[in-house]
Amino acid sequence: MTVTFLEDGHAASPTGWVAATAQCGIKYKGRDDLALLVSAEPCSAAAIFTTNKVKAAPVRYDMELVRRSPASLRAVVINAGNANACTGPDGDAAALAMAQAVESALALPADSVFVMSTGTIGVPMPIAKVLNGIAAAATTLAPNHGIAVARAIMTTDTRPKYCAARVVLPSGHTITIGGMTKGAGMIHPNMATLLATVTSDVAVNPACLDVALRAAANLSFNSISIDGDTSTNDTLLVLANGTANNPQIEDLASPDGQAFLEGLTAVCQHLAKAVVRDGEGATRFVTITVRGATDNADAKQAAMTIAKSPLVKTALYGADPNWGRVLCALGYSGAEIDPDKVLLSFGGMRVLEGGMPLPFDEKTASDLLNVPEITIDADLGLGDGIATVWTCDFSENYIKINAEYRT
């Protein structure tokens, strides 16, 4: 294993990275709500954006930016409390103003700053407050603010989410990959209401970084589900500044490329799982593995359908090994299944085999599930396809939070 997680590692752990926060007062009182991450050198960049047809102003800005400047990004600025979505031409101007304020304050070239926003939709961005915050943050950049930035981007999150890992490349160089994310509700494949920034000091060209990010996202942020809704602002960004001085990775199939991909995937998985653990009202973290599918895509479709089912999620909240609801979800998932070949386990205990339930003690089963971390394993008995996804249960608190919170 070449990947080692750092204790208290964060997005400013890789070399050449500094961070800062500020209190703009956009929506939250008495806490920082603006985050700035800055690299000492130009970065290779890759990003994945929401597939929602309604895209926030910063998403539209960034999509164009990363297309135009994939090798010269320097910083990312993120605010919490206002999503700058459904805000019309003023919203586009606000996103541009945020980028330009960072460029101006830090004497960076044009088109070098990525912008993210999260919070309420359809409210004009209080841009003066945000620009004041950017000016303040620009004066306090330091490597030890990597946890503070993870805290500043929170909305309904209950805790900051960050990590960093070290990878020893086969070529001998050591690289570091850090990251932070915010999530909570509306989490689903394709980055729903999720902002994630991954930083690194690896030297890698943008094309290779893009392929690596898509592969890592497929096994992490696109393998989690909280409530199946997707949002206007979701963005996963990776920036790599090359200060580790490894021979630049230009082929992901090379030994160094594979080691980097492994590290990137590990960091993305750590962050994605942190999002699920902090799902709105969640009381249990659920790992669902489907194997024996006709192929990996079918396995993932089946696993995600289980992960999204409100009936499965409420049963898990009730510590109920309700194999019937899981089998039903498999049945309508669209994946190839033969009910007579399905084997199902909850927490390692077999509950269904050959389409029929096995006898089990209800009390033992309920005790087995009445824990914070649960596994569901399904073997479809058809082929070699396998996929693992992560989700959480559905509690009364999910309803309370979402009946009261104005997105």
Which residues are tagged catalytic? 193
Residue 298 CB, nearest distance to a second copy (Å)? 12
Name the DSSP class of 134: H
| 311 belongs to the binding site for a second copy (CB under 8 A) | yes
Rounded to a whole number of angstroms, the CA Rg of the chain reads: 22
**Count of residues in contact with a second copy, rule CB under 8 A:** 56
Q: Around 319, how many Cα atoms within 13 Å sit in the side-chain half-sphere? A: 13
Residue 133 CB, nearest distance to a second copy (Å)? 24
Residue 53 CB, nearest distance to a second copy (Å)? 4
- Interface residues for a second copy in 214-253 (CB under 8 A)? 227-232
CB 106 within 8 A of CB 139: no
| 17 belongs to the binding site for a second copy (CB under 8 A) | no
- What does each C-alpha distance from 45 to 83, 114, 181, 254, 389 come to in angstroms? 22, 10, 17, 20, 26
Residue from 320, 345, 378, 385 in contact with a second copy (CB under 8 A): 320
- Interface residues for a second copy in 23-42 (CB under 8 A)? none
| 92 belongs to the binding site for a second copy (CB under 8 A) | no
- Distance between CA atoms of 114 and 283, rounded to whole angstroms? 35
Residue from 330, 376, 378, 389 in contact with a second copy (CB under 8 A): 330
- Distance between CA atoms of 280 and 31, rounded to whole angstroms? 21
Which CB atom, from 17 or from 394, has the smaller least distance to a second copy? 394
Residue from 42, 126, 143, 331 in contact with a second copy (CB under 8 A): 331
Residue from 352, 374, 378, 392 in contact with a second copy (CB under 8 A): 352
| 391 belongs to the binding site for a second copy (CB under 8 A) | no
Contact string 163-202 vs a second copy (x = CB under 8 A): ----------------------xx----------------
Question: Where does this chain touch a second copy (CB under 8 A) — which range of 20-28, 81-89, 100-108, 131-139?
Answer: 81-89
Residue 121 CB, nearest distance to a second copy (Å)? 4
- What does each C-alpha distance from 160 to 32, 152, 274, 403 come to in angstroms? 12, 8, 9, 23
Q: Is beta strand 224-225 parallel, antiparallel or unpaired with respect to 3-5? A: unpaired
Helices then strands, counting H and E runs in the chain, come out as: 11, 16
Q: Two tokens at 353?
A: 């085999």
- Distance between CA atoms of 125 and 139, rounded to whole angstroms? 23
Question: Where does this chain touch a second copy (CB under 8 A) — which range of 197-205, 207-215, 269-277, 397-405?
Answer: 397-405
| 383 belongs to the binding site for a second copy (CB under 8 A) | no
Instruction: Report the alpha-carbon angle 222-252-224, nearest 5.
Output: 10
Q: String of b and e for 238-271 (b: at least 16 CB within 10 Å)?
A: bbbbbbbebeebeebebebbbbbbbbbbbbbbbb
**What does the binding site for a second copy look like in residue numbers (CB under 8 A)?**
51-55, 85-88, 120-122, 185-186, 227-232, 308-311, 314-315, 317-318, 320, 322-325, 327-332, 337, 339, 352, 355-357, 394-396, 398-400, 402-404, 406-407
